[in-house]
Structure 1
C-alpha cells in the first residue's frame, strides 16, 4: 500500500464538495479552469474518479467510514450511468442548470459530503 498524504484526502473531499455545489458555482469553477468553450461538466466527475480509486485505502487508514465509502460509491455509480458519448448532452455545461439528473447528483454528493 502506498502511503497516503492527508492532502490526497482533502482533494478528494473537495471533489465531492464540487459536485454538491449549486449549478452556477459549478459552472464558475469549470470556467476558472480555462478549458475553453464549449464547457463540459465531465471535469467534475474526473475530479471524483481519482479519489474513488483510493477509497479502500482511505477506509483502511481510518480516514473514511464504511458508511461514507458507500455514499461516495452511490454517487460514483450514478455518474457512471451517464458515461459514454451517448450521454453527451448530460455532460454539457447547460445541463448543470436544467437537468433533474444533475439535481440528483448534487443531492447524493451532499449526502456523501455530510458522511465524510
Structure 2
C-alpha cells in the first residue's frame, strides 16, 4: 500500500487517463464482482470516489508536510469540478458511455492532467506516515486532539 500522497496521485492519474484506460481500470477494479467481465453496470462513480477518499485527507496532509498549499489549491479545483456534476440530476454523467461521449469527461481529464503535472511521481512521507511504519502512535495534530477529547468525553 502506498502513502496517502501516492494514493491521491494515482486517483488523479486515473481521472486524467483516456476513456479506454479508465474503462480498463474500472473493469479491473470490479473484476472480483464481475468475474472478469465488463463492469459497465457499475458506472464511473468509482473514479470520483477514489479521488474523494484521498482528497478528504489533504488538510491533514498539508499540516504534516506531505503536500503543499499550491497542490491543495489545484486539487480543490478538480474536486469542485467533480462536485458540479454530482447528484441525481447528473446520472447521465456517471454511465460508462459518458466516458467516451460526454464533453464534461474531457473537461475532467484536462483538469486532472493539469493537476497531475503539479504532483511529482515520488513517495512522500511525513512524521505522521513515518510513525505508522515504526509502530509508534502517530501525532494526529489538531484532528487527533479533537478526536481524543470526543472519545474521552463519550460523545
- Asked if Structure 1 and Structure 2 have the same fold, meaning a TM-score greater than 0.5 normalized by the shorter chain, the answer is yes
Tell me how large the CA RMSD over aligned residues is: 1.6
The corresponding residue for 1:19 is 15
Tell me the alpha carbon deviations over residues 46-91 of structure 1, each in whole angstroms, 9 at most, x when there is no partner.
Answer: 0000111111111122221111111111001111111111100000
Q: If you compute each CA radius of gyration, which structure gives the higher value, 1 or 2?
A: 2
Q: Secondary structure at the match of 2:67?
A: coil
Structure with the larger RCO, 1 or 2 (CA within 8 Å, 6+ apart) = 1
In structure 2, C-alpha distance between the alignment counterparts of 1:19 and 1:114, rounded to whole Å: 13
Q: Secondary structure at the match of 2:41?
A: coil
Q: Secondary structure at the match of 1:93?
A: coil
Matched, 1:60 2:63: yes
Matched, 1:83 2:79: no
| 1:37 to partner: Cα distance | 4.1
Task: Give the TM-score normalised by structure 1.
Answer: 0.89
Contact conserved, 1:31 with 1:39, CA < 8 A, in 2? no
The structure 1 segments of at least 4 consecutive aligned residues displaced by more than 2 Å after TM superposition are 34-37
Query: Unpaired segments of 5 or more residues in structure 1?
Result: none
In structure 2, C-alpha distance between the alignment counterparts of 1:58 and 1:85, rounded to whole Å: 31
Task: Give the TM-score normalised by structure 2.
Answer: 0.68
| 1:103 to partner: Cα distance | 0.5
